[in-house]
Amino acid sequence: MTWDITGMAAVANIGASPREIFAALCAGQESRRPLQVFDAGKYRAAYAYEIDDRPEGGDDIPRRATGWLTTVVRQAVANAGLGEDLSQVPVLVGTTMREQRSLELWWRDHADVALADLHFGTALKATFGASTTYTFANACSATLYALGMATDMIELGMADTVVVAGTDAATESGFGTLDRVQNDIPDALRPFDTSHKGMLMGEGAAAVVVQRAGTGNGPVHARVRGVSINCDARHATAPDPDGITRAMQDAHRRAGVRAQDIDLVMLHGTGTPRNDVTESTVLSRVFHGAEPGPRMTAIKAMTGHTLGGSGLLSLLMAVLAMKEGTVPPVLGLTDPIPEAVGLGLVQGTPAVGDHLNVAQIDAFGFGGINAVTIVEAAR
């Protein structure tokens, strides 16, 4: 069984639409910036991948994550040829921090934030009449978890159309926690390169409309072949290679594909030494003998780690890569770590290919919350 992706939308630090973001990724321009609203003097890290949408003067404002969420949902349903009445359409939201930044501003600056503002369902109900909304706070794999739930809902006959979205704004508590727990602090996020030191926060939101095959009114961007989710609970923070291997192999089984059928892998690629080594090791195991092997890339080198929405943002870039026959490079990758040598990582300039038909998207979160999705091009 497959599910149609009929609507797409995204916003990140490098663009306000999927195509803008994809073009920026292919251009490979450095996009990190000095911290805009957090006092850099309090932290070792001095950079982040923030969206530049705050008022003049740099003061922070509440409900930014909610604003991006309603924007991408509106754009995705319009892209799918649907109206804005979502009273009969479930909306599933993946996130890591929810509206925690708004709570920080309420506590510190007495910002005008009501309790109801901390729940995304409040704005979705007010803006779209959405009566069925669920929020999945599943760390960095949240949106691919939500996508798996969406396909289940359609398969079980609970809905013909589901909106899946994700959003996260940088929070000072989250930024400060990362600043304390990472052994080294990077100046830039450099996944799979020997210079990698750790992750830096990014901001953004993404949304897709998923429909039962053949029921949409507009063009089909791509098709979801299968979604695998698990929670190995092996360690609070360290990724477990066995849990990730099971997720990848189960995704292939659900999608009815073999490793040699995968043309593109969108890597989780956080730039932390432990994640990069673990993901590389698992990929070498799963794709062993699958010649010539898929091309691989990691977009967090330009978007930063957009947390709960990162998996869905990678999926959108996979869809555009298959449409355009172009894979953006991993920014700053010049000297791959030994475990990643031979994996087909795209370096320097975009890779061009005529046969990008099946893509794998990886997303792994703290606590062993793993999700892997397989999508195919709509030809």
Active site residues: 140, 268, 305
| C-alpha dihedral sign at 61, 65, 67, 72 | positive
Judged by DSSP in three states, 6 sits in strand
Region class of 239: left (phi > 0), else alpha (psi between -120 and 50), else beta: beta
> Nearest CA to 282 among 228, 339, 336, 361?
339
- CA dist 86 → 117, 128, 130, 142, 144 (Å): 19, 5, 5, 22, 21
The alpha carbons of the chain give a radius of gyration, in whole angstroms, of 19
- CA dist 208 → 19, 265, 315 (Å): 14, 19, 10
| Pairing, β 351-352 against β 133-136 | unpaired
> Nearest CA to 278 among 340, 336, 331?
340
Q: How far is residue 203 CA from its own chain's centroid?
A: 10
Alpha helices in 201-271 (DSSP H): 241-255
Greatest alpha-carbon span in the chain: 59
Q: Are 347 and 329 in contact (CB under 8 A)?
A: yes
Residue type, 117: D
